[in-house]
Structures are given as structure tokens and as C-alpha cells.
């Protein structure tokens, strides 16, 4: 599971570097930026590793999943513009602020879904015990 | 030869699991929502804002349907 998560994030970085590099007309520059960002993240992670290790793993996974879903929805919808005649990105109402709205929606729906699934899983386990 | 076959199966299995995740219906539903959105964009049927909200709402409905289907399977 950890490998899949890290692999997914790595793939994202590759796509972002390629996208920004193509837009800027310089993939080496975008790659250099990504390397600098890697250095900063590793440095920060080393500095905050102790308090970070106290955060429950599932909480981190949940937060990361929320962010991935939010940005994934935002960019996937923007990308639909490729199929429009002008090939312009689809513009969200409110522009970048729509990301916060999406985060609020996913952040509200997800705990409800978790509770729903947990409750019914508990019910089935109880039913099996009784049987 | 057997090892190569086993490695190939593991490789394919990893990618199927990585792309589709635990519920292929959820992945398929999202792809369908995006495909319909693409058709609407190509036909310039809706404004950008309406299209964005419509596709996002469709993705949300797909997730809700997936959760309800999961509850039914467990129930």
C-alpha cells in the first residue's frame, strides 16, 4: 500500500514536470525545480519527523486521499476542455477557489461514507456471529 | 519460463489494481462521467461553469452509488 502511494505521487510529479516544462518551453528547468522541491521536502521531513510520526497513519492517508480526490476532480474537469473546439481548459466558477469548495464537499461526504460502510460492516459481522 | 510468466502476471495485476483500485465500477463511472463531459464540451452544449459543476456532480453521484453498492454487498 505504501509503495502504491509513493509510486502514485512519483507519477504525479513526472506529469507535473512535463506539463510545466512544456508550458514554459524548458523541461530541464522544470526538472531542476522538481529536484529543488524534493530537497526542500526531504529537509522539512527530516526536521519534523518526530512530531509527524505521532500523527496517526490513517489520518494522514485520509487527508492525502482528500487532496488527491479534490485536485483530481478539479484538473480532470479542466482537462475536458481538450475536446472543446478551442481546446481551452474548462473554467471552473470562481476559478481556483472551486478547489476549496470541492475539498469541502469531499471532506463532508467522505466521513459519512466511512461511517455508513463501518456501520453496515459491523451489522454483518454481528449477524454472522449470531448465525 | 514459469517465473517469467508469473512476473508478467504480477506486473499486469499491479497495474490493473493501481489504475482501477478496489472497485472497477467506481473507476468506470468516473471515466463515463468525464466522457459525457467531453461530448458536451465538444458540442459546446453548456457554458464552462455549468459543465464543470455538472461533471463534478456526476462524479459525486458515482461515488455515492459506489458506497451504497458497497453497503448492499456487505448487508
Q: Where are the alpha helices (DSSP H) in chain B?
A: 2-20, 24-42, 48-74
State the pLDDT at residue B75.
60
Contact A83 B53 (CB under 8 A): no
Higher pLDDT pick, B4 / A98: A98
How high is the pLDDT of residue A131?
Answer: 47
Contact check, Cβ <8 Å, A120/B67? no
Q: Please report, in tens digits, the pLDDT of each residue of chain B (75 residues total).
A: 778 888 888 888 888 888 887 788 889 999 999 999 999 999 999 999 999 999 999 999 998 888 888 877 766
Q: How many Cβ pairs closer than 8 A exist between chain A and B?
A: 69
pLDDT at A123: 53
Task: Kindly report the pTM of this predicted structure.
Answer: 0.76
| Tens-digit pLDDT profile for residues A11-67 | 778 887 888 888 778 888 888 888 888 889 889 889 998 988 888 888 888 888 899
Q: What is the pLDDT of residues A60-86, one digit of tens each?
A: 888 888 998 999 999 999 999 999 998
Interface with A, mutate which of B56, B61, B75 (most A CBs under 10 A): B56
Q: Tell me, what's the ipTM?
A: 0.80
What band does A91 get if pLDDT is binned at 50, 70 and 90? very high
* Contact flag A124-B59 (C-beta cutoff 8 Å): no
Q: How many Å apart are CA A67 and CA A61, to the nearest integer?
A: 10
In chain B, what residues touch A123 (CB-CB under 8 Å)? 74-75
Q: In chain A, what is the straight-line distance between the N-terminal and C-terminal CA atoms, in Å? A: 34
Q: What long-range pairs does A5-10 form, CB within 8 A, spacing at least 24?
A: A5/A61, A5/A64, A7/B18, A8/A68, A8/B18
Amino acid at each position: 500500500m505504501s509503495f502504491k502511494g509513493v509510486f502514485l505521487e512519483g507519477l504525479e510529479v513526472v506529469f507535473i514536470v512535463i506539463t510545466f516544462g512544456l508550458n514554459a518551453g524548458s523541461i530541464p528547468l522544470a526538472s531542476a525545480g522538481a529536484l529543488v522541491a524534493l530537497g526542500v521536502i526531504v529537509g522539512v521531513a527530516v526536521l519534523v519527523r518526530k512530531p509527524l510520526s505521532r500523527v496517526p497513519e490513517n489520518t494522514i492517508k485520509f487527508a492525502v486521499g482528500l487532496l488527491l480526490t479534490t485536485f483530481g476532480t478539479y484538473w480532470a474537469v479542466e482537462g475536458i476542455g481538450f475536446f472543446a473546439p478551442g481546446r481551452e481548459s474548462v473554467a471552473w466558477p470562481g476559478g481556483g477557489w472551486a478547489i476549496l469548495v470541492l475539498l469541502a464537499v469531499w471532506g463532508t461526504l467522505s466521513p459519512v461514507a466511512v461511517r455508513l460502510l463501518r456501520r453496515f460492516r459491523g451489522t454483518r459481522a454481528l449477524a454472522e456471529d449470531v448465525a | 519460463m514459469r517465473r517469467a510468466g508469473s512476473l508478467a502476471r504480477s506486473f499486469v495485476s499491479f497495474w490493473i489494481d493501481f489504475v482501477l483500485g478496489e472497485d472497477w465500477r467506481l473507476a468506470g463511472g468516473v471515466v463515463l462521467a468525464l466522457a459525457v463531459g467531453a461530448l458536451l464540451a465538444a458540442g459546446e452544449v453548456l457554458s464552462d461553469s455549468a459543465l464543470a459543476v455538472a461533471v463534478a456532480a456526476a462524479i459525486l453521484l458515482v461515488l455515492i452509488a459506489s458506497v451504497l453498492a458497497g453497503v448492499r454487498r456487505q448487508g
